[in-house]
Structures are given as C-alpha cells and as structure tokens.
C-alpha cells in the first residue's frame, strides 16, 4: 500500500468537487504566449537566482508550513517553465527509458467523478487519459514520478555537460516567492490567482501550455498551478521545526518526496507559494510534473 501524507485526503476532496500581480518588468505579453520548445535548456530557458535569505513557510496557513523561519540559499538557475511533453519526449527517444507508470502498467487519472487507477496511460497522455496530439507538445509533462524526474535530470546533465537536478524545497520556494526581488504575494507573482495560475476554477479540468499566465517577479512561469512539481527533498511535515537555515536539504530519510505548487484541479489555497505535500517517489498522476535546476 502506498504511503502518503494527510495532504492526500485534501487532494481527493478537491478532486471530488472539481468538474473538470506583480508581473516581471521585462516580461511582455508576447513572451507569455511563446513558451520555449527546446528539450535541452540553455541560458535562454533558465532564470538565474542570486542566492539570499527569505522567510520560508507560513504561520497562518497549513499545519505543515509552520513555523515560518528565515532560510538562506546559494546561487542557482531554475527553469522558466515546467518540463514539457516535447522536452520529455527527447529524453525518452534518446534513452528508451520506461517510466514508473509504464513499468507498473497504470497511473492515477481523474475521470470526472473520482480518482481511478487507469491502465496503459503514460507521459504521452493528457489529463483525461487520452493520447495527446501534436498541438499539446508544449503542455507540462504529467504522469511522471519523482524517480522519472531524477532520471531526466541525469540524462540532461550527461547530454549538456552541466549539472541539472530537481530543486530543493527551499530553492523552489525562494524562486516562487521572487528570490531577491521578494514578492509579498500569496501566489507566485500575484495575489490574484487567476493572473498567474491554472487551477480548479479556470483550467477546464486539464493542463495548459506552459508560460501562458503572467510570470512572477523573476520571470518564472506556472510556479502556482498547472501541475504540481517534484522537489529533491524527502517530505516531513515537522521538518520546519528543526529550523535548518543554511541551504536546507530536507530530512536524511523518508518515505515520501516533496511536491510543490498546486495544480490545475486544486482550490486556490493549495496553489500558494508555501503550500507543501509529500508523495511516494513512484507516484504518478495527471496533475504532477516537474521543473529543473542547474547548478551555477
């Protein structure tokens, strides 16, 4: 039996009810509609995050977000957008890797009423469980596990001769909150969830092409909504109480990995920059994907 945190109960509740800012000064409306298509991120597809200190967590919200505490992170680069179907396809074509969903033969899909275990659905499928067409290559890839995301990062590192990996939970939140341009918003780039996120009320029950909503203060897209994103850390709902302040890496061990950022089917509260959850490293569904970090 898979082990999940209590957040799973909220996910199921959100599913059962679902029928289906501050924009960076250098980001133009045209840029928000033209997402990168390359599966080999370069400087044009990455945002440099100068290291610094910020308040991680939230004392007023979810129980696992407390206490808010000051954290410092080093310099890093982070993807402007979530890894797309087109990018993931290049990895699969080059390596013939089989994802967790392919190995186990099924994954989690929302059927309009509840979550079901659906057979033969893989990263090439949409949120409804149907094979994607060519017009959807710029959607974020879904039905990918933490382990799948790690293998993608290893391939990308080998291919580019640069060090790619998943963000730590602290790096993710620092980027979502605007880095050293630190925003004061509930969501990544705005207090208006509709401006920056695809979520339950505006998504139509599906993913959308990356980088269509407003970017945050650093020019990063979709850190609230669209798909939940894997982070490198093991998940521990009480980890913040340890008050690790310098480049926290999360617990040394655990049974679940961190997912961040909310998704297309969730209520606004789950799309906040401090909202967090944990899932089995082999878990895959129609609402989770990932983005990459490159070390400086």
> Tens digit of pLDDT for each residue in 65-76?
999 999 999 999
Instruction: Answer whether residue 162 shows pLDDT above 50.
Output: yes
Instruction: Determine the pLDDT at residue 41.
Output: 52
Whether 38 maps to a domain, the answer reads yes
Q: What pTM did the predictor assign?
A: 0.87
Instruction: Answer whether residue 5 shows pLDDT above 70.
Output: no
Whether 57 maps to a domain, the answer reads yes
**Distance of alpha carbon 178 from alpha carbon 161, whole angstroms:** 28
Whether 203 maps to a domain, the answer reads yes
**Distance of alpha carbon 195 from alpha carbon 215, whole angstroms:** 9
Higher pLDDT, 261 or 18: 261
Instruction: Answer whether residue 44 shows pLDDT above 60.
Output: yes
Region 204-223: mean pLDDT is 97
Among candidates 263, 261, 213, 257, which has minimal Cα distance to 239?
257
Instruction: Answer whether residue 38 shows pLDDT above 80.
Output: no
Whether 120 maps to a domain, the answer reads yes
The domain total for the chain is: 1
Task: Report pLDDT digits (tens) over 70-126.
Answer: 999 999 999 999 999 999 999 999 999 999 999 999 999 988 888 899 999 999 999
Could you identify the residue written with the tokens 């099924």? 106
Whether 28 maps to a domain, the answer reads yes
**Distance of alpha carbon 152 from alpha carbon 93, whole angstroms:** 12
Whether 218 maps to a domain, the answer reads yes
Whether 1 maps to a domain, the answer reads no
Q: What is the 3-state secondary structure (H, E, C) of 203-247?
A: CCCCCCCCCCCCCCCCCCCCCCCCCEEEEEEECCCCHHHHCCCEC
Instruction: Answer whether residue 151 shows pLDDT above 60.
Output: yes
Task: Report pLDDT digits (tens) over 236-263.
Answer: 999 999 999 999 999 999 999 999 999 9
Any idea of the CA torsion for 156, 56, 200, 208, to the nearest 10 degrees? -20
Domain that holds residue 172: 7-295
Instruction: Answer whether residue 28 shows pLDDT above 80.
Output: no
**Distance of alpha carbon 81 from alpha carbon 78, whole angstroms:** 9
Round the average pLDDT of the chain to a whole number and report it.
88
Instruction: Determine the pLDDT at residue 182.
Output: 82
Q: Can you give the CATH number for the domain in which 67 is found?
A: 3.90.1580.10
Instruction: Answer whether residue 18 shows pLDDT above 90.
Output: no
């Amino acid at each position: 039996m898979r082990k999940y945190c209590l957040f799973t109960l909220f996910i199921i509740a959100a599913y059962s009810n679902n029928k289906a800012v501050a924009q960076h000064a250098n980001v133009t409306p045209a840029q928000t509609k033209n997402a990168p298509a390359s599966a080999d991120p370069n400087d044009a597809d990455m945002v440099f995050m100068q290291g610094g200190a910020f308040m991680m967590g939230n004392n007023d919200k979810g129980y696992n977000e407390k206490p808010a505490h000051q954290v410092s992170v080093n310099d890093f680069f982070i993807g402007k957008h979530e890894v797309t179907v087109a990018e993931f396809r290049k990895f699969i074509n080059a390596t013939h890797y089989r994802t967790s969903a392919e190995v186990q033969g099924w994954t989690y899909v929302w059927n309009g009423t509840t979550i079901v275990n659906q057979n033969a659905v893989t990263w090439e499928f949409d949120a409804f469980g149907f094979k994607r067409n060519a017009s959807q290559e710029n959607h974020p890839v879904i039905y990918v596990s933490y382990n799948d995301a790690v293998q993608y990062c290893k391939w990308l590192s080998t291919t580019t001769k640069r060090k790619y990996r998943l963000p730590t939970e602290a790096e993710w939140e620092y980027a979502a909150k605007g880095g050293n341009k630190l925003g004061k918003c509930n969501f990544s780039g705005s207090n208006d969830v509709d401006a920056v996120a695809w979520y339950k009320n505006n998504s139509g029950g599906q993913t959308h092409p990356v980088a269509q909503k407003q970017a945050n203060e650093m020019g990063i897209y979709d850190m609230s909504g669209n798909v939940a994103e894997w982070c490198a850390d093991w998940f521990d709902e009480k980890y913040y109480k340890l008050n690790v302040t310098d480049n926290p890496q999360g617990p040394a061990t655990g049974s679940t990995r961190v997912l961040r950022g909310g998704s297309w089917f969730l209520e606004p509260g789950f799309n906040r920059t401090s909202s967090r959850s944990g899932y089995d490293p082999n878990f895959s569904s129609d609402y989770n994907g990932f983005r990459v970090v490159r070390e400086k």
